[in-house]
Amino acid sequence: MLKGSLVALITPMRADGSVDEKKLAEFVDWQIKEGTQCVVPTGTTGESPTLSHAEHKRVVEITVEVAKGRVPVMAGTGSNSTAEALDMTRHAKAAGADMVLIVTPYYNKPTQEGMYLHYSTIADAVDIPIIIYNIPPRSVVDMTPETMGRLAKHKNIIGVKDATANLVRPYHTRTACGDDFLQFSGEDHTALAFLAVGGHGCISVTGNIAPRLCAEMHALWNAGKIAEAMAIQERLVPLHDALFSETSPGPVKYAASLLGLTSEHVRLPLAPPAEATRARVRAAMSHAGLLN
């Protein structure tokens, strides 16, 4: 069963805005060597809304090539167009991804039935494990546990990335979907609390720059060393705060640049972080022991 620290990868970019394929490959390899248990390219953290279809597919291909089966690859293939999400999902399977992460359709605000039909259409068409990504703050819609329970009956729909930060929700999801339905927190602050209510891990943003600490935190929790795991989370909380003090992934790409992992460049309409945010990120990274 997949569990532990999964990382929603940033997409390294050059100053001219193009995807830096060499840095991406190096970053994926570093993540795996640092203990990340699953890499998740082409999500919101990977700036999927502003990647062209060709770039999106190439990022998935590079991630699969570099992972080489060492850890699973969960490719982001969501869209508010079912046809587009289906195309991306077919490509991810052909490229060798182990599973896909599909966000609830944003902007067009589908009903619960619309969301059910969106996911079931893709699951019927492509034989690959699907993780539902439920993130109401970005997509506006919130999939209910009842709808998720309907979808969980499909053999290809195996779990959820829950970014509601609602720690009651996992109980209702488990009741609706069963104990084998994977539940991952999509919000770093709740990573441990989510495990305490039956979750299986966290799809992390902070893991981009602190992969070893995030992996160790989950390993300690799973070993029953709760106090040690909590100590790491407390050390990371200021960093979680800083990385979301402006729209992600601006702050986390800046943090990655401080570690020499990639440039800080993001694509418009995202803007470079303000100086106050940069100072906050640097201070949090020092507090976490990531900067000397």
- In order, the DSSP letters of 219-231 are HHHHTT-HHHHHH
Quick count: other Cβ atoms within 10 Å of Cβ 53? 12
SS3 content of the chain, % helix, strand, coil (to 5): 50, 15, 40
How distant, in Å, are the alpha carbons of 64, 126, 272, 285 from that of 99? 11, 11, 32, 32
Burial of 170-202, coded b for 16+ CB within 10 Å and e otherwise, reads beebbebbeeebbbbbbbbbbbbebbebebbbb
State the angle between helix axes of 226-243 and 211-222 in degrees (0 to 180), rounded to the nearest 10.
150
Residue 137, classified by CB atoms within 10 Å of its CB into exposed (0-12), middle (13-18) or buried (19+), is exposed
Amino acid letter, 259 = L
How far apart CA 43 and CA 79 sit, in angstroms, is 10
DSSP code for 208: G
CB contact at 8 A, 28 and 39: yes
Residues with catalytic roles: 133, 161
Considering only CA atoms, give the Rg of the chain. Answer: 18
Q: Tally Cβ neighbours within 10 Å of residue 261.
A: 18
